[in-house]
């Protein structure tokens, strides 16, 4: 009996406070739909290795059996800790983050790449300021009515105005699950707080991730595939750079692969203290120990679509090997009906890489993670997608 192709997938989420079971349910739901569309078989169950949180997948691809085990490399607790801020602290974050990007010149350089993610970065600033203004105007109006028309003096009108302003901001914050302005503000503030450097708690977690991947590489897999989504894409770069520098990738072990999805690398690598990330990008892009494919889409306004994360950061080495920059091509891989259903749902589009495509092309997340080909073999001989942006926009901060 032929041994099934065996893969271990380690997934690094972006800035997401949601428990990791969300990714299991998303994979099961969207994987079943993609299998139906594409004509292969997927079944879901537990993993053999119960370390951390994850799930198992068995596949049948034209008669070829596969087995995959997933593990989510969790840093949601760090995210939750960074989001536990009051109203005043959040507005303080707003002004500090704006100054970090504007004062360092990073914002102007980012605008030379893609307008979409820059607008997405300015969105929480504009919305939070608008919410403050609306709450203050409403509070001032009621305070004025009490002071002038109700016969009360400003000794009562002013406290009422301030109290209503504060209550309005609390209300905006409570409904942010529909607006995502406060969430995104915390996200950008987390990256900007240390000028692009990783805070100590995150550095410790990245070291733990590297240890987990090293342990998995010592097991009997055909491929160990690391997947990084959104800000998890640049965390994956640093984790894998540390892993390879430490000599923990066995020469005769499983093939090590890295799939970065919907990256926002320039939001971090363009900041003045991101020397560690820029050095990791330069180092990883020249290593033969892994295959690295980067997938984005110009239709995803929350990522830097088709921006080569190494080249635009100004750190491309002469002996560069990676990444292969590919487009998920939403206009081709999603039907007009599907695109209409997703119109305006920009946050959902940012997760489309992890979902089913009703007109799948070369990029198929479920065939990549559960199919019988390694990442390198699947995309062997491929060239970068047309429209790749490789200008060294951040040359000023290059090492």
Asked if 278 and 299 sit in the same domain, the reply is yes
The per-residue pLDDT for range 131-189, each reduced to its tens digit, is: 999 998 998 888 878 777 655 655 566 788 888 888 989 998 888 878 888 888 999 99
Check residues 242 and 86 and name the one with the higher pLDDT. Answer: 242
Which of 158, 192, 226 is the endpoint of a domain?
Answer: 192
Asked if 170 and 71 sit in the same domain, the reply is no
Asked if 138 and 269 sit in the same domain, the reply is no
Q: Is 305 helix (H, G, I), strand (E, B) or coil?
A: coil
Q: What is the mean pLDDT of residues 113-126?
A: 87
Copy the structure tokens of residue 84.
């536990």
Which of 160, 192, 224 is the endpoint of a domain?
Answer: 192
Interacting residues of 130 by C-beta distance below 8 A, sequence separation 6+: none
Asked if 109 and 17 sit in the same domain, the reply is no
Over 90: is that where the pLDDT of 357 sits?
Answer: yes
The per-residue pLDDT for range 46-80, each reduced to its tens digit, is: 888 778 889 999 999 999 999 999 999 999 999 99
Q: What is the mean pLDDT of residues 100-121?
A: 89
The per-residue pLDDT for range 363-395, each reduced to its tens digit, is: 999 999 999 999 999 999 999 999 999 999 987
DSSP single-letter state for residue 64: E
pLDDT at 130: 94
pLDDT at 152: 60
Asked if 360 and 252 sit in the same domain, the reply is yes
Asked if 16 and 57 sit in the same domain, the reply is yes
Neighbours of 250 (CB within 10 A): 12
Asked if 259 and 315 sit in the same domain, the reply is yes
**How many angstroms separate the Cα of 125 from the Cα of each of 191, 222, 264, 276, 306?**
15, 46, 18, 27, 26
Contact criterion met (CB below 8 Å) for 80 and 17: yes
Q: What is the mean pLDDT of residues 304-313?
A: 96
Domain tally, the chain: 2
Asked if 184 and 217 sit in the same domain, the reply is no
0.75 exceeded by pTM: yes
Asked if 139 and 217 sit in the same domain, the reply is no
DSSP string, 124-145: HHHHHHHHHHHHHHHHHHHHHI
Asked if 210 and 300 sit in the same domain, the reply is yes
Whole-number Å distance between alpha carbons of 367 and 375: 10
Over 70: is that where the pLDDT of 239 sits?
Answer: yes
Q: Residue 99: pLDDT band by 50, 70, 90 thresholds?
A: very high
- Say what percent of the chain tops pLDDT 90: 74
pLDDT at 312: 96
Which of 138, 164, 192 is the endpoint of a domain?
Answer: 192
Whole-number Å distance between alpha carbons of 2 and 219: 19
The per-residue pLDDT for range 187-226, each reduced to its tens digit, is: 999 999 999 999 999 999 999 999 999 999 999 999 999 9
Asked if 56 and 133 sit in the same domain, the reply is no
> Whole domain around residue 185: which residue ranges?
85-192
Asked if 298 and 374 sit in the same domain, the reply is yes
pLDDT at 151: 59
């Amino acid at each position: 009996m032929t041994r099934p192709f065996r893969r271990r997938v380690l997934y690094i989420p972006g800035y997401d406070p949601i428990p990791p079971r969300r990714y299991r349910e998303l994979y099961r739901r969207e994987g079943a739909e993609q299998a139906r569309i594409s004509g292969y078989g997927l079944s879901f169950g537990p993993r053999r290795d119960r370390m951390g949180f994850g799930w198992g997948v068995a596949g049948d691809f034209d008669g070829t059996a596969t087995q995959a085990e997933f593990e989510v490399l969790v840093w949601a607790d760090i995210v939750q800790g960074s989001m536990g801020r009051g109203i005043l602290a959040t507005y303080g974050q707003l002004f500090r983050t704006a100054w970090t990007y504007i004062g360092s010149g990073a914002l102007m350089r980012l605008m030379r790449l893609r307008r979409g993610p820059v607008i997405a970065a300015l969105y929480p600033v504009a919305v939070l300021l608008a919410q403050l203004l609306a709450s203050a105007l409403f509070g001032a109006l009621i305070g004025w009515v009490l002071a002038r028309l109700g016969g009360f003096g400003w000794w009562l009108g002013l406290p009422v105005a301030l109290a209503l302003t504060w209550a309005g901001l609390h209300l905006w914050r409570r409904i942010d699950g529909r607006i995502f302005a406060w969430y995104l503000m915390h996200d950008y503030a987390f990256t900007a707080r240390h000028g692009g450097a990783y805070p100590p708690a995150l550095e410790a977690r990245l070291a733990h991730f590297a240890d987990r991947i090293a342990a998995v590489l010592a097991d009997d897999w055909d491929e160990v595939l690391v997947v990084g989504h959104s800000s998890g894409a640049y965390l994956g770069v640093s984790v894998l750079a540390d892993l390879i520098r430490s000599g923990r990738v066995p020469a005769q072990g499983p093939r090590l692969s890295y799939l970065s999805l919907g990256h926002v690398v320039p939001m971090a690598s363009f900041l003045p203290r991101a020397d560690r990330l820029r050095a990791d990008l330069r180092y990883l892009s020249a290593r033969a120990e892994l295959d690295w494919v980067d997938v984005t889409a110009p239709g995803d306004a929350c990522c830097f679509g088709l921006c080569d994360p190494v080249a635009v950061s100004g750190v491309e080495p002469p002996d560069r090997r990676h990444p292969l920059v590919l487009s998920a091509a939403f206009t081709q891989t999603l039907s007009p009906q599907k695109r209409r259903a997703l119109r305006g749902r920009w946050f959902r589009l940012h997760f489309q890489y992890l979902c089913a495509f009703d007109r799948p092309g070369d990029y198929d997340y479920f065939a990549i993670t559960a199919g019988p080909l390694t990442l390198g073999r699947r995309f062997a001989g491929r060239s970068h997608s047309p429209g790749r942006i490789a200008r060294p926009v951040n040359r000023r901060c290059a090492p």
